[in-house]
């Protein structure tokens, strides 16, 4: 599954959507860029008091993932996954919340 992002046509910097101007150069020519959705966990936390839409899923983990293309994004981890620093993950679809990250090895 591709991760939806934007790439600046002027300096090639990446941005997670939505964005209206490039954070690096200030340019406004942002083009869609599908990223691999693969990366490694940089950090994570466990959510015990979720928003109402996810109340039935607590506790769950949210991670900062450094995508292979260099962009850092935040996303939920697949239920049952054991987060660890530098753990390879990939983006997968989720029934609630759009997408989640799952360990690359399926564990």
What pLDDT does residue 16 have?
86
Q: Which fold has domain 36-103?
A: OB fold (Dihydrolipoamide Acetyltransferase, E2P) (2.40.50)
Reported confidence tier of residue 94, pLDDT bands at 50, 70, 90: confident
pLDDT tens digits along 55-70: 888 999 999 999 999 9
Cα–Cα dist 83/93, whole Å: 18
Instruction: Evaluate whether 65 touches 81 at the Cβ level (below 8 Å).
Output: no
User: In the chain, what are the domain boundaries?
Assistant: 3-34, 36-103
pTM of the model: 0.85
Residue 107 confidence (pLDDT) above 60: no
């Amino acid at each position: 599954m591709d991760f939806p992002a934007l790439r600046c046509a002027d300096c090639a910097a990446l941005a997670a959507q939505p964005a209206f101007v490039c954070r690096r150069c200030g340019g406004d020519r942002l083009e869609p860029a599908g990223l691999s959705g693969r990366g490694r966990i940089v950090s994570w936390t466990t959510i015990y008091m979720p928003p109402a839409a996810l109340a039935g899923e607590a506790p769950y983990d949210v991670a900062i993932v450094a995508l292979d293309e260099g962009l850092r994004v935040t996303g939920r981890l697949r239920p049952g996954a054991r987060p660890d620093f530098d753990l390879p993950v990939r983006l997968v679809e989720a029934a609630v919340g759009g997408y989640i990250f799952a360990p690359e090895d399926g564990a």
